[in-house]
Amino acid sequence: MLSTRTEYQKKLDGYLKESKNLTPLEKHLFLFIDKDKTFSPSTVSEALEKMHGSKSKAKGTAIASFNATHASSNYICPAFKAQFTKDKNGYARFLHLGTTRIWNADGSINQERLKKFEDYIAKESKEQIITKNTLTKYLNICKLADKPESTTGRNADSFFSSQSTQELAGSAAWDEVFDRLACGWKPRPDDYREMEPYLSLEDLRDFFIDSPKAFLKAECGLLPVAKPEPKSPEPLLAMPYKP
């Protein structure tokens, strides 16, 4: 474990030197783009592979294709890669529906939305963690309350990026986050026999503010914590017969 933590610290130090002038949203894409700031099925798949994710090629292709198509001004056919660069509206075209809306179009953090999310987590749990179930409930609240935005990609104007498609993409992305960054498991509130993963509040904050600090933990093997094996029910002991 010591060598694993040493590897993590070495990679983290290198990343921190390269990223000191980046915004939180730019840091979020840091491990998924090449030197030309292009993300594609290969760049995303390679990053997921380094994090020891399952089905990395298929997931990388889906993630890159969705985001490239969503951010593209050409809605005639789906795209497969795109440059993560600003235009006159910053990174607005890369934002989409079905999310927490914690990133602003200029790449900064919306502190009001981050506090709203953290307040919800605090109300749901006293353990400084967020379970998959808690996240799902919060995203459903956001879907009902948040309105489409004409100035960002948070709208359903494209045939290839409908509201349902965006929401499914967001849900799938969070599935991957919990799969790679789970720091523990708890019984589900609706079925105590089933376990669900949870994230620490620290890793969740890093995910939004300084993503590679969290992602590198998966790359170096510090996370995720494996799902515990289900316990076998205790055998019932026969009572001695007393006539």
pLDDT at 26: 98
pLDDT at 22: 98
Region 188-217 average pLDDT: 96
pLDDT at 74: 60
Higher-pLDDT residue of 240, 81: 81
- For residue 107, what are its two tokens? 């790449």
* Lowest mean pLDDT, pick from 73-82, 189-198, 227-236: 227-236
- Provide the mean pLDDT of the chain: 92
Residue 138 has pLDDT above 80, yes or no: yes
What are the angstrom distances between the C-alpha of 233 and each of 88, 193, 201? 61, 11, 33
Go through 195-210 and write b for each residue having 16 or more CB atoms within 10 A of its CB, e for each that does not. bbbbbbbebbbbbbbb
pLDDT at 79: 86
Q: What is the pLDDT of residues 20-79, one digit of tens each?
A: 999 999 999 999 999 999 999 999 999 999 999 999 999 999 999 999 999 986 655 678
Q: What are phi and psi of 95, to 5 degrees?
A: -75, 150
Region 112-136 average pLDDT: 96
* Lowest mean pLDDT, pick from 15-24, 29-38, 77-86, 121-130: 77-86
Reduced to 3 DSSP states, what percent helix, strand and coil does the chain have, rounded to the nearest 5? 50, 10, 40
Q: What are phi and psi of 61, to 5 degrees?
A: -65, -45
Region 78-98 average pLDDT: 94
Q: Would strands 191-200 and 129-131 be described as parallel, antiparallel, or unpaired?
A: antiparallel
pTM: 0.91
Region class of 114: left (phi > 0), else alpha (psi between -120 and 50), else beta: alpha
Q: What are phi and psi of 100, to 5 degrees?
A: -80, -15
CA-based nearest residue to 61, from 82, 43, 34, 83: 43
pLDDT at 159: 74
pLDDT at 100: 98
User: Looking up tokens 């075209």, which residue turns up?
Assistant: 93
User: Looking up tokens 């292009």, which residue turns up?
Assistant: 38
The CA-CA-CA angle for residues 225, 231, 237, to 5°, reads 160
Q: What dihedral angle (degrees, nearest 10) is formed by the CA atoms of 109, 111, 116, 118?
A: 70
Q: What is the pLDDT of residues 40-49, one digit of tens each?
A: 999 999 999 9
The answer to whether the bond into 224 is cis (omega within 30° of 0) is: yes
